[in-house]
A and B are shown apart, each in its own frame.
Chain A
């Protein structure tokens, strides 16, 4: 089971939900922080560091002796990361997506790959949780390859909770690809609803089953509930706007540690998610069966 926790914008409680949920499960659980520009799940966990791994992408390196300045590389590159003006090409490594295309199209085989570091993956053990988090190097704008590297750590035999980056752009798509269920965390305010709608659109487009957690219930208005009702979106949990919870958060403490009764609530949340994800799988197979007929 791979569950992604996402939100249309930052600061809605996405990380709070991911970490508390991971802590509440009675089994060994894998937590992946894919918010690689600003990973913060580790701040809520005490544990021992379990190592760190550099992540690189292949960027081109041109051999001036072989290059004849034909610009086949520049014509190919969609990202304007390489361009030749009749001489050895100019490279913009910060724009290179590491697709390897320029190396393949170069008629003179003048381009080789060299590794460019984009960030690291840190590992941490804390109780039942193994946390892997990506950390993008400063000045690097290439989040998706690092997110994919973090996701390569996914093990099959444990539940996986993936903290997705906020928003709806490429990094989010990279994080949500191939997950079984998406939990969208929102606040019940007009701004929250606006961002929730965008996140719902992306999730629907990717055809992943999803549900909503409303955080800080009590602020804002009823419109988020109305929206979910109308759109047939299940609200799987509501977390009240509570001073004690906010204080625990500001101390870097988990809700489930400060208020043990929440453990049960998060377990129920996970139970609902499993049922919905399961349902979706059965729907899919019955659909496939009826199509086959």
Chain B
């Protein structure tokens, strides 16, 4: 199973980006073989509207079945849910910390969008 983390960097030590729709990169971690790949989300940074929906499509294309981020807006939430992707929000500082929390079962599944649209 794969999990996508929002990040501005490109390694496990990189900070976890708090925004889902406007995160520069996704670090897609494969739990089965403990490897990861970086997926560029840059084209979304300038999207006038619907960045969260485009990000959700990008995550869906990576094959991830969960996403870990800081905040998730309502449109991204609907799109991710429709794609069957589970959303976890956390305040963990780095991707590695968020991954450790996930593996320890310390992350709680988000049941609704937690911010207004402009965060998405």
Contacts and interface: CB of A to CB of B under 8 A. Distances in A.
Nearest to B54: A80
A74 interface: yes
A92 B84 CA distance: 17
Nearest to B84: A85
Interface string B69-90: 0000001001100111000000
Contacts of B49: 79-80, 95
Contacts of A81: 50
B53 interface: yes
A103 to B, nearest CB: 19
A92 B77 CA distance: 12
A177 interface: no
A87 B82 contact: yes
Nearest to A170: B48
B82 to A, nearest CB: 4
Nearest to B82: A90
Contacts of A254: none
Interface in A40-96: 74, 79-81, 83, 85, 87, 90, 92, 95
12 contacts: A80-B47, A83-B53, A83-B57, A85-B57, A85-B60, A85-B82, A85-B83, A87-B82, A92-B53, A92-B75, A92-B78, A95-B75
Of all A-B residue pairs in the complex, the 4 with the closest CB atoms, nearest first, are: A80-B50, A85-B83, A80-B53, A90-B82
